[in-house]
Amino acid sequence: MTVKDAGAATNASINLRGIGTYAFSIGVEPSVSVIVDDVPVVQQAQAFNGLSDIERIEVLRGPQGTLFGKNSSAGLVNIVTKGPSQEFEGYIEAAATDDDELRINASLSGPIGDRAGYRINAYTQQRDGYINNFTLGEQYNDDEGFGIRGKLVIDPTDNLSIQFVGDYSERNIKGGVSTYRDIPEGSLLFGAFPTDLFTEGLVPGEDNYNTRLDYAPVSDNEQLSASMKISYALGDFNLVSVTSYQDWSYLFEQDVDGTEFDIAGAFTGGALSGGIYQIAPFEADQITQELRLESPQSDSFDYIVGLWYSSADTTRVFDRQPLFVADWDAGTGNTNMALFGQFNWHLSEKLDLSLGGRVGREEIDVFFNDTAAGTSYTGDDSETFTVGKAAIQYFLRDDLSAFASVSTGYKGQGYDVSSGFNQDRADNPVGSETATSYEAGLKGAVIDGRAQFSLVAFMTDFEDFQAQSIEVTQEDGIVVALNNVGELRTQGIEAEFAMQLSASWRLDASAAFVDANIESFSGANCYPGQTEAQGCIGGVQDLGGEDLANSPDWKYNLSLTYETPLAGMPFGLFANANYSYQDDVNFDLFANPRTVQDGYGIANFTFGIAENDGKYRITAFINNAFDERYASFINDNSGFYGGSPVMTHILPRNSQQYAGIRARWSF
């Protein structure tokens, strides 16, 4: 799994097996769905809020749609938070770091009489920024937020359980700020203004954490969610209903030109002043209803069948000033209805067969009001779809099995909601994206049960993959277009291994080779400066055979954990060393060779003491111990610099070494 940070929360994405969301219009679904406590988030950006009190995270790779209410074309991340406990308990945890982060997390849980229980969790966090703006004397890419979640479970009878979940959180970041990675000599802003007019004190490079902006960034989001889950036992069957409501708002403000230069004044002779900025508030809400019938587990046959309904509305206002003016507001709606199920036959003690399917209908609509032009556009469309899955598992022995599966996935139509929207776009949404995936593997326990492993080979073909192109020009500013780009194939091998080496030592390792390629994409944008000899003919190129963006070929992780009691002491010692590595990755869909991040490895170390009965735990840690620099996004700004390849990048917090201490007291 790869998480891409592209500045704005709405442009961040989760990639599984090389595939994620390459289109960030409000009218486009994510390729990878995120579910929190049985409820899919309405916008993938919500998954990046500060979740806490987590019980487990499950990553399901490949198309999904036969077991969950929400379908997805590339995979699903299922996050489950902790529920009420049978006895009163709680904890308080605090962490502080040398880069000025303070985080406090607390939880209380317990029974209410004999037939109810509760759990309340809250957190607050604050971290200073690490990007220095010399112009305004501020620091950016900070992180501040808080959240609270409550769970109440009531069991009115022995066969009825009702769970209520409420969640509220805020996150405020002066973030998404990029810095100069490279400025070729002689570069001119808009082909006219030397860069030394606005880069005093800046040293472009891979470790440049300084900038000069005349407009402070904003990246604030707020979310509220509520859900009710009812489980009713009908004899040996279980009927489950999940009802939810979500509301998410996001405000993004950005210095578009990324400088302190008075561009408006220079172009208008002083009639206007300041640089180019944009303000883009978002608002999204969603209601969902899922109904599942779960059969009793038996030695021969079991199944899950369900009904799904969701209705989501997203609105956006966009205002860019004082040059390349854009002023519009838009909204999209999406209604999804489906019947899904999976049936499992236990043909023998060693052989299982599963067949699943989903039949659904999706209805979408859009409105777009171009205030500057005084025009409005509306549209709607609908589509029926079917996906399925077939899987077989053979147990070589009780703790070792081989498996294989084939599945199909679907991602619905979408509207290309961006500057330049017109009636043709409203009448002709971008087509749906489909996937066909094949898997085969082996998993189980070896070495007398001391080690567990899994080995999976996969291949997935995508048809009509949805992707967005972004082009910066001196004539039109930032131009965004959404298209079905053609065919993709991602294939590879994933391996995981865990072993208890001794009573004190544990080894965990994982590795993945993912070959994600564009099979066909003719008519793609050329990257800035691409020549005819490099494949740019008539302003377009054929990307067939190129690697897919944001997908490193190799990723691996190695973790070694040590735990031991201390004789005669009320606590024991623990330590962990973790190393993760990823191969080269290109951030540009159009294969720009200048937007490549070289491979890098990150080492993290922790050590501490833990009370023998679990009452307290004190941990010291150092992340990115060897201070390895890397970018989470690289952008080519040639369009703003008359064709000169001026490069900027986003440096994440983890691109620098930082250390801290974490203390937890449980009661």
Instruction: Express each pLDDT in 364-401 by its tens digit.
Output: 999 999 998 999 999 999 999 999 999 999 999 999 99
- Residue 475's pLDDT is 47
**Residue appearing with tokens 């040398």:** 98
Q: Is the pLDDT score of 490 beyond 60?
A: yes
- Residue 33's pLDDT is 87
- Residue 10's pLDDT is 60
| CA 343 – CA 350 distance, rounded (Å) | 17
Q: Which residues contact 479 (CB under 8 A, 6 or more apart)?
A: 419, 420, 470, 471, 472, 473
The count of other CB atoms within 10 Å of the CB of residue 316 is 23
Domain of residue 380 covers 2-666
- For 533-587, how does the pLDDT look when each residue is reduced to its tens digit (9 = 90+)? 999 999 889 999 999 988 999 999 999 999 999 999 999 999 999 999 999 999 9
Contact 373, 36 (CB under 8 A): no
Contact 405, 439 (CB under 8 A): yes
Specify burial of residue 533 (Cβ count, 10 A radius: 0-12, 13-18, 19+): exposed
Count of structural domains within the chain: 1
Q: How does residue 432 score in pLDDT terms, banded at 50, 70 and 90? A: very high
Specify burial of residue 443 (Cβ count, 10 A radius: 0-12, 13-18, 19+): middle
Mean pLDDT of 26-42: 85
Q: How does residue 2 score in pLDDT terms, banded at 50, 70 and 90? A: low
Rg (CA), the chain: 26
Q: How does residue 491 score in pLDDT terms, banded at 50, 70 and 90? A: very high
CATH number at residue 52: 2.40.170.20
Take residue 553 and report the two structure tokens written for it: 């070929």
The count of other CB atoms within 10 Å of the CB of residue 633 is 22
CA contacts within 13 A on the Cβ side of 303: 12
Q: Is the pLDDT score of 281 beyond 50?
A: yes
Contact 512, 492 (CB under 8 A): yes
Q: Is the pLDDT score of 6 beyond 70?
A: no
Q: Following CA atoms 357, 464, 491, 560 in sequence, which dihedral angle do they give, to the nearest 10 degrees? A: -80
| CA 69 – CA 92 distance, rounded (Å) | 35
| CA 152 – CA 136 distance, rounded (Å) | 47
- For 233-271, how does the pLDDT look when each residue is reduced to its tens digit (9 = 90+)? 999 999 999 999 999 999 999 999 999 999 999 999 999
Contact 93, 52 (CB under 8 A): no
Least confident of 74-78, 103-107, 466-470, 488-492: 466-470
Amino acid at 82: K
What is this structure's pTM? 0.90
- Residue 478's pLDDT is 52
Q: Which has the closest alpha carbon to 94: 606, 614, 605, 664?
A: 664
Q: Return the percentage of the chain with pLDDT > 90, whole number.
A: 83
**Structural element, H or E, at residue 423:** helix 423-427
- Residue 1's pLDDT is 67
The count of other CB atoms within 10 Å of the CB of residue 276 is 23
- Residue 484's pLDDT is 81
Contact 276, 268 (CB under 8 A): no
Mean pLDDT of 74-103: 95
Query: What average pLDDT is seen over the chain?
Result: 93
- For 635-645, how does the pLDDT look when each residue is reduced to its tens digit (9 = 90+)? 999 999 999 99
Q: Is the pLDDT score of 14 beyond 90?
A: no
- Residue 29's pLDDT is 80
| CA 452 – CA 458 distance, rounded (Å) | 20
Contact 316, 330 (CB under 8 A): yes
Mean pLDDT of 523-529: 90
Mean pLDDT of 488-496: 96
Q: Which residues contact 358 (CB under 8 A, 6 or more apart)?
A: 65, 66, 71, 338, 339, 340, 341, 386, 387, 388
- For 163-188, how does the pLDDT look when each residue is reduced to its tens digit (9 = 90+)? 999 999 999 999 889 999 999 999 99
Q: Is the pLDDT score of 96 beyond 80?
A: yes
Take residue 658 and report the two structure tokens written for it: 């930082």
User: What are the phi and psi torsion angles at 596 (to 5°)?
Assistant: -100, 130
Mean pLDDT of 589-607: 97
| CA 285 – CA 333 distance, rounded (Å) | 10
- Residue 659's pLDDT is 99
DSSP letters for 377-405: EEEEEEEEEEEEEEEEEEEEETTEEEEEE
Q: Which has the closest alpha carbon to 125: 108, 91, 148?
A: 148
Q: Is the pLDDT score of 416 beyond 90?
A: no
Q: Is the pLDDT score of 633 beyond 80?
A: yes
Residue 118 per-residue DSSP state: E
Per the document, the length of the chain is 667
